[in-house]
Amino acid sequence: MTLLDGKKTSETIQQEIADEVADIKANGGKVPHLAAILVGNDGGSVTYVNNKVLACERIGFGSTLIRYEDTVTEEELLAKIKELNEDVLVDGFIVQLPLPKHIDTEKVLESIDPKKDVDGFHPTNVGRMVAGLPSYLPATPAGILQLLTRYEIETHGKHCVVVGRSNIVGSPMSILMAKEAYPGNATVTLCHRNTVNLGYFTRQADIIITAVGKPGLITPDMVKEGAVVIDVGTTRVPDATRKAGYRLRGDVDFDAVAPKCSFITPVPGGVGPLTIAMLMKNTLRAAKREVYG
C-alpha cells in the first residue's frame, strides 16, 4: 500500500510555481495577484482563506483579502466583484463559500468575469471543461488529477466510481475521469445519496473517489483488493483528546480499508493540501493568459 501524500505533492507544486514567479520577476514581468472575498466569520472559511494568503506570500504572488460582515448586502458584494473584474492589477479572485442565506450564491458566481474565475465555478468555465476546451478546473478535482499523475497511477480503461455529485468535486471529477486524456479514459460510475446498494458499485471499482462528508462511509467490504482510494471527505468529529476538541475524519474507514489498497489518501494530508496549490496554479495561468489569451 502506498500513501498518496498530498502535503508533499502540494509543496512540490508550490515550489514549481515559486520558481516560475521568480523568473517572471527577474525578467521584469507582472507578478500574479490573487484577491479573495471573505464574508462573515466562519472558522473553517477564515482558516482556509488565511492559508491562501500565506500561500501567496510563500510563492511570491501579490494578494488582497477583502472582508465583510455577514450583514453585507448582495448589492455591495456585487459592486465589489464588478470592481475586481475591472481591476487590471488583479489576475484572479475568489469569493469564499458558503455565503449568508440572504445572498444568491449563483448570482454572485455568475457575476465573476470567467477570465478571473480561478475557482473554476463560473458556468462558462464549467462548460469549457465539459467541451474539452482550455478552462480553469475546480481546485479539488485538479488536485486529484495531479496526485494520479505524479504517482503514475494507471487510469486508462479502469473503472472509476465517484461517490458524491456536487458541482465542486463529484460532478466535475466524473467528467474529467471520462475524458480522452491522462488521467482519464476511465469508465465512470457516478453514485450519490440516492444510490441503492452503494457497495455493489464500489466493489467493482479500480479507483474510488469519494466526496460526501460522511465519516466512515466506505468500509473494507466495499473495496476490492488493489483498489486506488481517494478520500475527499473532511468532517470534524468530536475528540476530547485533541486541543481543538475535534479531529478530521474522511469518508473512508482508513485503518480498516488501507490494507486492501494499492494507493490511498490520508485525511488530513491527502487531497486537502492540493486545493490551495491548484488555486495558485490557476492564478498563475490567469496571469499568463493561458486560458483566454
Q: Is 96 an annotated catalytic residue?
A: yes
pLDDT of residue 27: 96
Domains of the chain with bracketed CATH: 27-114 (3.40.50.10860), 139-272 (3.40.50.720)
pLDDT digits (tens, 9 = 90+) for 63-111: 999 999 999 999 999 999 999 999 999 999 999 999 999 999 999 999 9
Per the annotation, the verdict on 119 as an active-site residue is yes
Tens digit of pLDDT at every position of the chain (293 positions)? 999 999 999 999 999 999 999 999 999 999 999 999 999 988 888 888 999 999 999 999 999 999 999 999 999 999 999 999 999 999 999 999 999 999 999 999 999 999 999 999 999 999 999 999 999 999 999 999 999 999 999 999 999 999 999 999 999 999 999 999 999 999 999 999 999 999 999 999 999 999 999 999 999 999 999 999 999 998 888 888 888 888 889 999 999 999 999 999 999 999 999 999 999 999 999 999 999 98
Kindly name the residue from 14, 52, 91, 116 that is annotated as catalytic.
Answer: 52
Of 91, 119, 206, 253, which residue is the catalytic one? 119
Q: Report percent pLDDT > 70 for the chain.
A: 100
Instruction: Give pTM, 2 decimals.
Output: 0.94
Question: What pLDDT is attached to residue 248?
Answer: 87
Q: Identify whether 23 is a catalytic site residue.
A: no
Q: Which of 96, 117, 206, 253 is catalytic?
A: 96
Q: What is the 3-state secondary structure (H, E, C) of 2-26?
A: EECCHHHHHHHHHHHHHHHHHHHHH
What are the pLDDT digits (tens) for 114-134?
Answer: 999 999 999 999 999 999 999
